[in-house]
Amino acid sequence: MLDVKPRDVQVASIATADTTILRSRTWDRLKFEVEYSLQRGTTANSYLIQADKTALIDPPGESFTEIFLQELQQYTNLQQLDYLILGHVNPNRMVTLKALLELAPQVTFVCSKPGAVALQSALREYKPTIWIPRAEDTLDLGQGHQLQFIPIPTPRWPDGFCTYDPATRVLFTDKLFGAHLCGDEIFDENWKGLDEDRRFYYDCLHAAQSKQVEVALDKLAAFSAKLYAPGHGPIVRYSLSRLTHDYRQWGQQQTDKDLTVALIYASAYGNTATLAQALATGMTKAGVAVESINCEFTDPTEIQAAIEKCDGFIIGSPTLGGHMPTQVQTALGIVLSCAAKNKLAGVFGSYGWSGEAVDEIESKLVDAGYRLGFESIRVKFKPTDTLLQQCEEAGTDLAQALKKAKKVRTPWQPVSNSQIDRTEQAVGRIVGSLCVLATKRENVSSAMLASWVTQASFNPPGLTVAVAKDRAVESLIHTGDRFVLNILQEGKNVRRHFLKPFAPGEDCFAGLDVQEAENGCPVLSEALAYLECTLHNRIDCGDHWLVYAIVDNGKVLQPTGMTAVHHRKSGSQY
């Protein structure tokens, strides 16, 4: 766990003296990143350009409103603030925007058309001045700062908007190229150390909308940027080409997957979109591609095309006035008319006072003969960490069911079946001790039966564990996380308990005698011994992560017992 530190605003010049970054920082977890399971803090980056005219880009959300405005007024006179440029508009920012309007009523908002609609609704009493630039429009701040604007709509952020300043060659990328972590580094000098955080950020936020992100990358390639200035994390200076290449490569990995799920949803207040993101994370880590479709901003012909080519589909909806929104009704009608009955389905949604929309969608799908891949998910108001973990597990379960139905298997190498069989048998002769890897992060706990375990170092004492990417525990196993490795005793029944499948959200420790280790993770009383570990590094190994952990503490619980060992006949399965 990170030490709790006060929130602050870090200020520095970037590119030139007239372009300033204000990094609102916290080492705590914020409401807006509730769907983001890593807890390394974050920075909400805002940018101030002061030339003949002054523009502020992407002020932070309400968690930072007070300290941000205090710091901002040290660097500019808000009564002379000319423009407020928004890469996206969401409810979280409204407190800050209202406070800015109180101090700078003359300001002109610059945003995309969908963003303007959201602003006009949320700030109706202020009657804000809004400018929606066209493709050929620029904004002249003077002294060479001739800003250009690039719309980059995605399902999650249909109002997505980037800004390019040719005077400094800074590309303000908002949700692209960021990372959720907090530190003192303004730039990415240590870019190799950011790999895990950047990839996790992409997987959580962009993997399900990789097609739209690829289109955005093509648009941005037309600008000769030397800096990416994202909404979160370090400014990208030293790894600009590398990170751009990584984004394209990660997107191609989604395109190359054999199975695809169409994730169709609408979201009134962002809660249903948060659930959609958690479901998508569970499916993508299990090796199934997700095509995210916000039906509020998608043409019905595109929805039909996605439904016809997908292997399964999930529909999410808020409940408004006791019903699903019109756009969801239209999407559901398309599904019922053109989706084959053998396609696996799912339903989810959030609500405030009643959840009729989820029940209505479920009943129509079941009556039409579709089979549901998980129990329909209903969440009241904002989802908790536990509910988001349940959504991720539900997505993984649906992905595994699709893979089982399609019998998807990637051959190891282009050789004959007889040679593959011989190789599998040989690999299967590798044996390992049976262990239960157990972990807990705040209110979320999970565990898995592990047999690919080995000691890796003497000093410091370390070990490696292979963790399948589609395991529920995977989302809790990242660099810096802690876990307990419970080494099982031969002849005990604990292994049987963890061999059975668990439903999404089910307590996998129910019925067991469990204690708490010093690092807060579960210790099984029936274990032969246990080791308290801190994860130091993890390596991508295809369908598994190989994690290296340092052993901090340990204890033998049964001095006369024997370690349970797992023998296999084939290297193609556990």
- Average pLDDT of 341-361? 92
Q: Please count the other Cβ atoms lying within 10 Å of the Cβ belonging to residue 442.
A: 12
Instruction: Give the per-residue pLDDT at 571.
Output: 78
Q: Please count the other Cβ atoms lying within 10 Å of the Cβ belonging to residue 326.
A: 12
Instruction: Give the per-residue pLDDT at 40.
Output: 81
| Domain over 418-566 is classified CATH 3.30.565.10 | no
Write the pLDDT tens digit of every residue in 254-282. 999 999 999 999 998 889 999 999 999 99
As a whole number of angstroms, the distance between CA 163 and CA 172 comes to 5
Instruction: Give the per-residue pLDDT at 37.
Output: 62
- Average pLDDT of 390-407? 90
Mean residue pLDDT of the chain comes to 91
Give yes or no for residue 566 having a pLDDT over 60.
yes
Instruction: Give the per-residue pLDDT at 415.
Output: 53
pLDDT band at 531 (very low <50, low <70, confident <90, very high): very high
Q: Hunting for tokens 């003077």 — which residue is that?
A: 142
Give yes or no for residue 409 having a pLDDT over 50.
no
pLDDT band at 545 (very low <50, low <70, confident <90, very high): very high
Instruction: Give the per-residue pLDDT at 417.
Output: 60
Write the pLDDT tens digit of every residue in 359-398. 999 999 999 999 999 999 999 988 888 898 899 999 999 9
Instruction: Give the per-residue pLDDT at 428.
Output: 83
Which strand ranges, in their side-by-side order, compose the sheet holding 377-380? 289-294, 260-265, 312-316, 344-351, 377-380
Q: For the residues of 245-309, what is the DSSP string, one character each? A: HHHHHHHHHHHT-S-EEEEEE--SSSHHHHHHHHHHHHHHHTT-EEEEEETTSS-HHHHHHHHHH
Instruction: Give the per-residue pLDDT at 36.
Output: 62
Give pTM, 2 decimals. Answer: 0.87
Q: For the residues of 10-75, what is the DSSP string, one character each? A: EEEEESEEEEEEEEEEESS--GGGTT----S-EEEEEEEEESSSEEEE----GGGHHHHHHHHTTT
The closest of 101, 208, 115, 95 to 162, measured between CA atoms, is 115
As a whole number of angstroms, the distance between CA 89 and CA 132 comes to 13
As a whole number of angstroms, the distance between CA 20 and CA 342 comes to 55
| Domain over 257-406 is classified CATH 3.40.630.180 | no
Instruction: Give the per-residue pLDDT at 410.
Output: 45
Q: Hunting for tokens 């928004």 — which residue is that?
A: 86
Output the furthest CA–CA distance in the chain (Å, rounded): 80
- Average pLDDT of 168-177? 97
pLDDT band at 32 (very low <50, low <70, confident <90, very high): low
The closest of 407, 335, 343 to 372, measured between CA atoms, is 343
Direct distance between the N- and C-terminal alpha carbons of the chain, in angstroms, rounded to an integer? 33
% the chain with pLDDT above 70: 95
Assigned CATH topology for domain 8-253: Metallo-beta-lactamase; Chain A (3.60.15)
The upper half-sphere exposure of residue 324, i.e. CA atoms within 13 Å in the direction of its Cβ, equals 27
pLDDT band at 411 (very low <50, low <70, confident <90, very high): very low
Q: Please count the other Cβ atoms lying within 10 Å of the Cβ belonging to residue 76.
A: 15
As a whole number of angstroms, the distance between CA 100 and CA 445 comes to 41
| Cross-strand pairs, 345 | 313, 372
Burial grade of 270 (CB within 10 A; 0-12, 13-18, 19 or more): middle
Cα–Cα distances in angstroms (integers) from residue 556 to residues 343, 453, 494, 561, in the given order: 50, 17, 17, 10
Whether the CB-CB separation of 284 and 336 falls below 8 Å is answered with no
As a whole number of angstroms, the distance between CA 45 and CA 40 comes to 16
Give yes or no for residue 63 having a pLDDT over 70.
yes
Q: Regarding beta strands 108-110 and 129-131, do their DSSP bridges make them parallel or antiparallel, or are they unpaired?
A: parallel
Which strand ranges, in their side-by-side order, compose the sheet holding 444-450? 444-450, 435-441, 482-487, 529-541, 544-556, 462-468, 453-457
- 180: Cβ contacts below 8 Å, ≥ 6 apart: 33, 36, 38, 40, 41, 42, 197, 201, 232, 233
Write the pLDDT tens digit of every residue in 502-521. 888 889 999 999 999 999 99
Enumerate the domain spans of the chain: 8-253, 257-406, 418-566
Domains 8-253 and 257-406 alike in fold: no
Give yes or no for residue 2 having a pLDDT over 60.
no
Write the pLDDT tens digit of every residue in 417-461. 666 578 888 988 888 899 999 999 888 899 999 999 999 999 999
Give yes or no for residue 414 having a pLDDT over 90.
no
As a whole number of angstroms, the distance between CA 105 and CA 94 comes to 15
The closest of 296, 275, 273 to 117, measured between CA atoms, is 296
Give yes or no for residue 34 having a pLDDT over 60.
no
